Amino acid sequence: MLKDNRSTTPRLKREIHSGALTLLTLLAIVSPAAANQASQPQVPPPVQINDLSVHDPCILADTNSRTYYIYAGYDLKRDGGRLKSSNGRAGVKAFLSKDLLKWTGPQLVFEIPAGFWGDADSSPWAPEVHAYNGKYYLFTTFNAWKEEMDRRPGRPFINKRASQILVADSPLGPFKPFSNQPHTPTDEMTLDATFWVEDGQPWLIYCHEWVQLGNGLVKAIRLKPDLSATEGDPITLLNAGGFAWTRKEIGYRAGRFPGAVTDGPYFWRTSRGVLAMIWSSWTPEHQYALAFAYSPSGKLAGPWQHDAGPTLWDDRGHGMIFRDFDGRLLLCLHRYFHQPKTRVQLWELEDVGDRLKLGKQILGAP
């Protein structure tokens, strides 16, 4: 109930009569605190993990803030009604959580700068953030959809697609590119870059696209100590065409082309020093799937031992591995490849020394 404020009654009558009274004017007259609250931007309610729609998810468990961050591409076509960029260009957004159950946001952490080589209206792919030497590094992929970077017989249009690292002082950015050029080799169509450190040497690991090659590869290339650029030549870790379980013909740009996909590599060292790699591809039944491989030497160079088939399928893949703040080892991935159905899932993992054993799903949509 509004309090009786006799000193303001004549003013109220005049403004109501003139039609000039607004909601905020009324609130200011009867309750200045309420007016101030009404003028503040409305914070959206938390998103439950069952409803969290993030493609190619990667969770940063930030020990400095005891907060989980998950990142996704942003563009005006999909997010313009909820999240406004300052320049109208695409970028990367983040959701935050203290418990992996409720996620607040999104917040913009990167906006494509003017004159950037990638398309300003196309959201970056597969963003993931890693803490390293007191900084935070965003690994992501950009497209210049109309720029032809290569032409090969029997292959579809090969547009410029490449992976790049950006840097910030906070998990919420703002992230800035080191330069206006990709980190991956200029003559390679690449995606899904990730990070690994071996014997003090930082590495960029990425997929060399099946679109350009036929059979997609997973490659690794050395990084400079500050991650500002790469050094030397890449080494090949995996060829997707060498597995019986991968699909060998892919639909792309309204056509069908021979080839096998590599997606989403991610690495974890077991308690016995074995290096584990997860990666994704399509099965002959056209199911997106996730597979495990192991390097007993503990080195990126291998040799790598591969399971006979994928560990998870039924439209699940592009995973990553992390420990939560309770010490649980977890696998994060997305279920359902195509938006808007895509949802995040979390699965238990057990480190049994020479490999990682998949447990049950504990969080996320079915």
Domain boundaries, the chain: 1-40, 44-364
Q: Give bridge partners of residue 232 from the DSSP assignment.
A: none
- What's the pLDDT score for residue 78? 79
Mean pLDDT of the 127-142 span? 98
3-state DSSP assignment of residue 350: strand
- What's the pLDDT score for residue 91? 97
Task: Indicate the pLDDT class of residue 137, thresholds 50, 70 and 90.
Answer: very high
Q: Is the pLDDT of residue 315 over 90?
A: yes
The Cβ of residue 9 has, within 10 Å, a number of other Cβ atoms equal to 11
Q: Look at the domain 44-364 and name its fold.
A: Tachylectin-2; Chain A (2.115.10)
The contacts of residue 259 (CB under 8 Å, 6+ apart) are 210, 211, 213, 214, 215, 216, 241, 248, 249, 250
C-alpha span between 248 and 260 (Å, rounded): 5
C-alpha span between 35 and 32 (Å, rounded): 5
For 314, the token pair is 């039924």
The Cβ of residue 242 has, within 10 Å, a number of other Cβ atoms equal to 10
Per-residue pLDDT tens digits for 70-101: 999 999 887 766 788 888 899 999 999 999 99
Mean pLDDT of the 213-228 span? 98
